[in-house]
């Protein structure tokens, strides 16, 4: 037997052993690296979660501070615009801070967002100054869409044919069991409060003028809605139904109208059910009244 016949198997064995040890070291090193990487990822996630929790806490404190800065009467008045504010908080959502829920308790939007309000008033209402703002508010407070809703409802209940108002009559029939004589009142008053707040934010109305209008809307709601039943949040539920009935009475049928009205339905549901909702924080006054607040201090009969 030659030298190589004796040595070659030994060399192969040593080579395989070396490969095994090298492979073992690589695997163990990989495991250790994965473990360290996992620990680093866990630490990063924990840090991000802690930062997110702290940001949420600060955000909640800001929301609560904005709410506490208002009297119950003023919060109730601003809550009348909540179906629109809920949409605004979606539009103004921030990737880091989330939805600016403090907007429910303020007249002004987040900093730098005034252009969206200006566009909304210009395109939706032809409001560009004090005079045009007061004109739209006078129409909303003086009759709005609720006046025609009431006329159509009276004709429907009397069994009169309404060939020219077939769509509107259908809306009234669909909502009669839910809203009855309250009709579209909430839709007009929610828009009045929203228009007044936006106009104030843009300088078209003074803060005193704005709160005077909000006080008038607050009183019109308390006078126009029945005392709520014993069911939880029944007052806001009826207000939400009245809002939806008015929105559908105003416009329905087209794709754009349908999408908008579905968004309103989603918003009303959020307001009635979500723990962050101002309607959950401040339920409808059980006895139909709220404490006097800043609104009442500037509430003469004139809007001028």
CA distance 170 to 152: 10
For the ranges 35-44, 50-59, 61-70, 269-278, the lowest mean pLDDT is seen at: 50-59
Do the beta carbons of residue 55 and residue 96 sit within 8 Å? yes
Q: Per-residue pLDDT averaged across 226-255, rounded? A: 87
CA distance 169 to 149: 9
CA distance 13 to 84: 80
- Residue 134, C-beta contacts closer than 8 angstroms, at least 6 positions apart: 205, 303, 304
Give 80: exposed, middle or buried? Use CB within 10 Å, 0-12, 13-18, 19+: buried
Nearest Cα residue to 240 out of 215, 277, 265: 265
Instruction: Categorize the per-residue pLDDT at 241 as very low, low, confident or very high, splitting at 50, 70 and 90.
Output: very high
pLDDT higher for 174 or 9? 174
CA distance 242 to 183: 6
Report the Cα 224 to chain-centroid distance in Å.
Answer: 25
Give 104: exposed, middle or buried? Use CB within 10 Å, 0-12, 13-18, 19+: buried
Q: Per-residue pLDDT averaged across 195-210, rounded? A: 96
Mean pLDDT taken over the chain: 84
Taking each continuous run of H as one helix and of E as one strand, the counts in the chain are 13, 0
Across the strands, what pairs with 98? 94
Q: pLDDT per residue over 107-125, tens digit each?
A: 988 888 889 899 999 999 9
CA distance 20 to 30: 15
CA distance 10 to 40: 44
Q: pLDDT per residue over 148-179, tens digit each?
A: 999 999 999 999 999 999 999 999 999 999 99
Token pair listed for 82:
């909540």
Instruction: Categorize the per-residue pLDDT at 59 as very low, low, confident or very high, splitting at 50, 70 and 90.
Output: low
């Amino acid at each position: 037997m030659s030298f190589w016949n004796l040595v070659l198997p030994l060399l192969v064995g040593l080579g395989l052993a070396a490969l095994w040890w090298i492979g073992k070291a690589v695997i163990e090193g990989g495991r250790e690296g994965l473990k360290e990487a996992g620990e680093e990822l866990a630490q990063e996630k924990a840090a991000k979660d802690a930062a997110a929790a702290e940001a949420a806490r600060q955000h909640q404190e800001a929301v609560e501070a904005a709410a506490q800065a208002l009297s119950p009467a003023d919060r109730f008045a601003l809550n009348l615009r909540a179906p629109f504010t809920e949409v605004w908080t979606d539009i103004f959502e921030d990737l880091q801070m989330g939805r600016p829920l403090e907007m429910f308790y303020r007249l002004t939007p987040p900093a730098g967002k005034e252009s969206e309000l200006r566009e909304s008033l210009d395109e939706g209402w032809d409001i560009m100054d004090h005079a045009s703002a007061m004109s739209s508010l006078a129409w909303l407070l003086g009759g709005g869409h609720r006046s025609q809703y009431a006329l159509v409802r009276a004709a429907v209940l009397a069994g009169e044919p309404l060939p020219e108002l077939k769509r509107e009559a259908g809306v009234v029939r669909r909502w009669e069991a839910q809203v009855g004589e309250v009709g579209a009142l909430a839709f007009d008053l929610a828009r009045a409060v929203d228009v007044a707040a936006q106009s104030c934010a843009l300088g078209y109305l003074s803060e005193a003028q704005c709160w005077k209008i909000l006080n008038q809307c607050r009183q019109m709601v308390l006078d126009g809605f029945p005392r709520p039943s014993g069911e939880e949040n029944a007052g806001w539920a009826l207000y939400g139904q009245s809002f939806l009935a008015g929105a559908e009475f105003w416009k329905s049928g087209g794709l754009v109208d349908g999408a908008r009205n579905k968004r309103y339905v989603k918003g009303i549901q959020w307001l009635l059910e979500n723990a962050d909702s101002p309607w959950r924080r401040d339920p409808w006054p059980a006895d139909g009244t709220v404490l006097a607040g800043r609104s009442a201090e500037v509430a003469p009969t004139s809007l001028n």
